[in-house]
Structure 1
């Protein structure tokens, strides 16, 4: 079997493959959701992004492996979507394909895997990844807003305070405060919590 570059014709099949696997804690990668439609949209964006790429391995007509690299060539970094594999030995083929594709362009790769995802842990260990941080993800099932402070969209006059808070709390991760502000649109919003002392938090 050989790894190949994902193309537009394979997006739906890849979305369904990832959604099925990412719903399992033992395969879960935090950069992607579990809805096939959401994953399809993410893959479509990646497919349009000339800097990024995704790689698949086929077994007959079915997919047996997937690895995406959401790359930023200016920073020389990429977030790894996967690896999602039916068999652990396929990880090596996908990783070698990605390294060959991005040779000389990237110097850091990030992986955000569920603690139960031992396949990703094995992959990370074998390839020299270092643990940067551990996260806890929580889910709010009750939509009641009792006890919550009043929130609003980030006002322009708080942009500098937002940038300072984001870059202090989350240095060197995801997007900088300035990049988040530049990406704000109808799909990407920043909500803030304000009190008499001013800006005190954001989501």
Structure 2
């Protein structure tokens, strides 16, 4: 077996898509459409940092990381393996990839049916369990639109920005995007709708659309504790759906919700979302004194 860096994004994307379509090999960070994976790899990954395992000239394993140097945090893409010697290949890829030597937090987000990878993380890497999640989906043909009344956040309004950031940080204490980070990501297809009461921001929904692939995601939805159970979350969610399905014409919408967020889960289900995957999160924490 030979371990070496990749030389072709397209080759990697096609192999990832093929393997990730199988529930017992599925990684939550990665999609199943080769074109979409190819686009993400080109935008967010360094080709020479994607490591491949070869056996008799054929790719049998892939390991890559989507990382942030400042936060020292890396999402683990893989190992994707299509060979009966699964454990040997996984060990070799992990041991020989240079990024695994970094003193970073490594995060795994994998299908519950991916038992081989769960065993590898817990038994060989000493990873720790970090929660269960649902990936929910809804198709455009299933959506009943309303007349949109949503309000985009005004980036020149410093009070709105400050109140949104505070609400986001209170609602999601360890989110993958900070409030300031969300504001930096806003554009024509990444939108932040807010709900105001007495001139104060008390609710918001942040969404991202990918028109090229007719897909979209609702990344965050939050409502101030004092204003919950008033239908604000439902209204914000409806605004997001109308924008993504109506204006961006996406065909499929997905979102992730923690298993312990039962109220949110029931809200999404009541609006027509169905469960696509059940995922589990694990992490390897960096050494604090290193």
What is the TM-score when the length of structure 2 is the normalising length?
Answer: 0.60
Per-residue deviation at 1:37? 0.7
Alignment equivalent of 1:37, drawn from 29, 32, 35: 35
> How far is 1:160 from its partner?
2.3
> Corresponding residue for 1:93?
92
Q: Counterparts of 1:196 and 1:166 in 2: how far apart (Å)?
A: 16
Structure 1 pair 32–151 and aligned structure 2 pair: CA distance change class (3 A): farther
Give the secondary structure class of the aligned counterpart of 1:179. Answer: helix
1:172-183 map, 5 Å: 172-183=174-185
SS in 2 for 1:137: strand
Q: Are the structure 2 counterparts of residues 20 and 95 from structure 1 closer, same or farther at C-alpha, using a change threshold of 3 Å?
A: same
1:113 paired residue number: 110
Question: TM-score by structure 1 length?
Answer: 0.83
Pick 1 or 2: higher relative contact order, CA cutoff 8 A, min separation 6: 2
Distance in structure 1 (CA, Å) of the matches to 2:147 and 2:31? 26
**Structure 2 alignment gaps of length 5 or more:** 207-290
Point out the structure with the larger strand share: 2
In the other structure, the counterpart of 1:6 is 6
> Do structure 1's residue 78 and structure 2's residue 74 form an aligned pair?
yes
C-alpha distance in 2 between matches for 1:38 and 1:71: 19
Q: How many residue pairs align between the two structures?
A: 196
C-alpha contact (below 8 Å) 2:186/2:192 kept by paired residues:
no
Between structure 1 and structure 2, the one with the greater Rg is: 2
Is 1:15 matched with 2:13? yes
Deviations 1:60-117 (A, max 9, x none): 343111111111111111000111111312111111123x3453x4321001111111
Structure 2 residue corresponding to 1:124, chosen from 111, 121, 124? 121
Alignment partners' CA distance in 1, 2:136 and 2:161: 27
Q: CA separation in 1, counterparts of 2:188 and 2:6?
A: 28
What are the ranges of 5 or more consecutive residues in structure 1 without an aligned counterpart? none
- Matches of 2:109 and 2:149, distance apart in 1: 31
Deviation at 1:118, TM superposition (A): 1.1
Q: Give 1:184 shift.
A: 2.8
Q: Aligned to 1:192, what secondary structure does the other structure show?
A: strand
Q: Is the 8 A contact 1:73 1:106 kept in 2?
A: no
Match of 1:161 in 2: 163
Change (3 A) 1:75 1:153: same
